[in-house]
Amino acid sequence: MSYLILVRHGQSVWNLEKKFTGWVDIDLTENGKLEAKKAGDLIKLNNIDIDIYYSSFQLRAKNTLKLIKEILEDTKISKEAWQLNERHYGALTGLNKDEMKVKLGEDKVHQFRRSWDLRPDPLDKNNPYHPININTYKEIPMDKIPDTESLKDTYERVLEFYKQEIENKISKNNILISAHGNSIRALCKYLFKLDENQISKLEIPTGNPLLINLDENKKITDCKYLDSKRARDLVVF
């Protein structure tokens, strides 16, 4: 048996400000740092030794992982992958969600956030929030940097990386992935075989490790959030 642990980063500054963040490289709040440390405490309490760590390229995920590893006193080098980045919200990037509900209507904003294949309008390449203008992404090939994404687009890039890089390691390793709400939702769609309706309802809490048990055939035998007080419905379990 092996473990796959999925951790959505702790609360970020723009989570707190209710802004569409996407690929903007925003750091954790103080509360987000506490959430990350608690995630580390929960993993340590369950006596889980991690063999391989992954995070996205983004500061909030990398710093969440850094704090978890400090709690675990683990000095292994983490692997970073832009494919695990949050979904790109296009022209919505940097805008306040509540203000957009007033401007566009709650139904439209809900569609942008939760629909499977609806993309917001693309973000102008001259916008300082566009990934091509953010130093974090300077090593990513230009043709891989999106102007906007749907959840389907996010799912395709996350899944391609997961199948190529992670899936073949799971049967012999305990793996932890520190990523984002939508990149983790994408992984959950694949792992739990969720349909488009189920994935639209799935919420991922910040800083709460999702522990997934897999057998030697990579079949899920059990899963749970380590902080039961902040657990969300997993739809299938």
Q: Catalytic pick from 35, 86, 88, 130?
A: 86
Residues whose CB falls within 8 Å of the CB of residue 59, separated by 6 or more in sequence, listed in order: 25, 26, 27, 28, 136
For residues 61 and 65, what is the distance between their CA atoms, to the nearest angstrom? 6
Q: Catalytic pick from 9, 88, 130, 180?
A: 9
Q: Is 9 a catalytic residue?
A: yes
Q: For Cα atoms 119, 124, 125, give the angle at the middle one, nearest 5 degrees.
A: 115
Q: Which residues of 145-181 are buried (b: 16+ CB within 10 A; e: fewer)?
A: bbbbbbbbbbbebbbebbeeebbeebeeebbbbbbbb
Burial class (CB in 10 A: 0-12, 13-18, 19+), 75: exposed
Q: Is 86 a catalytic residue?
A: yes
For residues 22 and 192, what is the distance between their CA atoms, to the nearest angstrom? 24
The residues annotated as belonging to the active site are: 9, 86
